[in-house]
Amino acid sequence: MPKSNRFYQAQTQKNVTRDRFIRSVNPVVGMKMRAILEELKRKEEGRE
């Protein structure tokens, strides 16, 4: 069964929002924040 379109759009929106936030902060902080968010994203995918 294919993924629902709504779920896919929500995931895409999360990714876009994360990228915009990371680019808006200091680059050094952004690199650390990206690593933390990537780890969180992997945990989220593991639960679903």
**pLDDT for 48:** 58
pLDDT in tens, the chain (48 residues): 455 556 667 777 777 887 787 777 777 887 888 888 889 888 888 875
**pLDDT for 29:** 80
User: Nearest-CA neighbor of 15 among 45, 48, 28?
Assistant: 45
3-state per-residue secondary structure call for the chain: CCCCHHHHHHHHHHHHHHHHHHHHCCHHHHHHHHHHHHHHHHHHHHHC
CA distance 10 to 33: 21
First and final C-alpha spacing in the chain: 15
**pLDDT for 3:** 57
Domain segments of the chain as ranges: 13-47
Model pTM score: 0.43
- Neighbouring CB atoms inside 10 A of 19's CB total 13
**pLDDT for 4:** 59
